[in-house]
Amino acid sequence: MLQDELRKMLDDYDPDIRDLVMHVLTLEQEHISMKSPRIKVQLEELIDTAAKRQVGGAGDAGR
C-alpha cells in the first residue's frame, strides 16, 4: 500500500529515479534494523549504478 502511494507520487519523475527509489524502499524493508545500517554499501551501489546509467545516457544523447 505504501509502495503504491509512493509510486503515484513519483509518476512525473524520470523512470530511473522512480526505479532507484523503489529499489531502495524494497531493500530497506527487507533489512530494516534499529541497531545498525547494515545495507549502507548496497544502497551506495544502487545509487552509483543509477548515476552511472544517467551519465552514460546523457553522453549518448549528444551524439
Q: How does pLDDT run across 4-20, given as a tens digit for each residue?
A: 888 888 889 888 888 88
Q: Per residue in 28-56, pLDDT tens?
A: 877 776 666 677 788 888 889 888 988 88
Q: How far is CA 40 from the centre of its chain?
A: 13
Please give the Cα distance from 10 to 46 (Å, whole number): 18
Domain residue ranges of the chain, discontinuous segments joined by +:
2-61
pTM of the model: 0.55
CB 17 within 8 A of CB 10: yes
In the chain, the largest separation of any two C-alpha atoms, in whole Å, equals 48
Cell numbers at residue 4, please? 503504491
